[in-house]
Amino acid sequence: MEALFAITLGLLTASGTYLLLRGRTFAVVLGLTLLSYAVNLFLFAMGRLAGEAAVLGRDVQYADPVPQALVLTAIVIGFAMTAFVVVLALRGVSELGSDHVDGRREEDSAP
C-alpha cells in the first residue's frame, strides 16, 4: 500500500512539475492541477495510511480527522485558484494574442 501510494505521488508530482515548466498556459494549468492532486493525496498520507493516527495516538479504530479537514480546505482553495488561473489564461490569450506564459507571439516562440 505504502509503495503504491508513494509511486503514485511521485508520478503525479513529476508529471505536474514537467507540465509546469512548459511554455503554454494550458499545459501549465494542467501541471498545477496534477500538483495539487499530489499535494492533497500527500496530506491524506500524513494522517497515516495504516497504524497509529498522527493525532489520536494509539487508537487505530479512528482515522485522523485533521488531515481530512486540511485536504478539504486545500481542495476548495486549489479549485478556486485553478479557476482563477484558467480565467487569467483566457484573458492572456485575448489581450496578448498568445497562450505563451511569457506573452510571446507565435512566431517568437520555438516549438
Partner 1 sequence: MSHLPILPILLPLFAGALLLMLPSLERVKRSISVISTIALVPLALLLMQQAGDGQLRVYALGSWQPPFGIILLLDRLAALMLLATSVLASCAVLYAVRGDDRVGMRFHALFQFQLLGINGAFLTGDLFNLFVFFEILLIASYALLMHGNGAQRVRAGMHYVILNLAGSALFLIAVGTLYGITGTLNMVDMARQVAAADPSQAPVLAAAGLVLLLVFGLKAALLPLYFWLPRAYAAASSPVAALFAIMTKVGIYSILRVYSLIFGPEAGELANLAQPWIWPLALVTVILGALGALAATSLQGLLAYLVVVSAGTLLAAIALGTPEAQGAALFYLLHSTWVAGALFLLADLVARQRGDKAGLLVQGPALQNPHVLGAAFFYGAIAVAGLPPLSGFFAKLMLLQAAPPGAGALPLWSVLLIGGFIALVALSRAGSTLFWRTGHQALGSAELDGGRLFATLLLLSGSLLLVVFGQPLLDYAQATAAQLNDLNLYRGILGETGA
Binding residues vs partner 1 (CB under 8 A): 20, 25, 28, 32, 35-36, 38-39, 42-43, 45-48, 54-55, 66-67, 70, 73-74, 77-78, 80-81, 84-85, 88-89, 91-92, 95-96, 101-103
CA dihedral sign, ordered 102, 74, 5, 48: positive
Residue with cell 505521488: 9
- By beta-carbon proximity to partner 1, the closer residue of 8 and 89 is 89
Quote the least distance from Cβ 111 to partner 1, whole Å. 20
What contacts 7, CB < 8 A, 6 or more positions away?
none
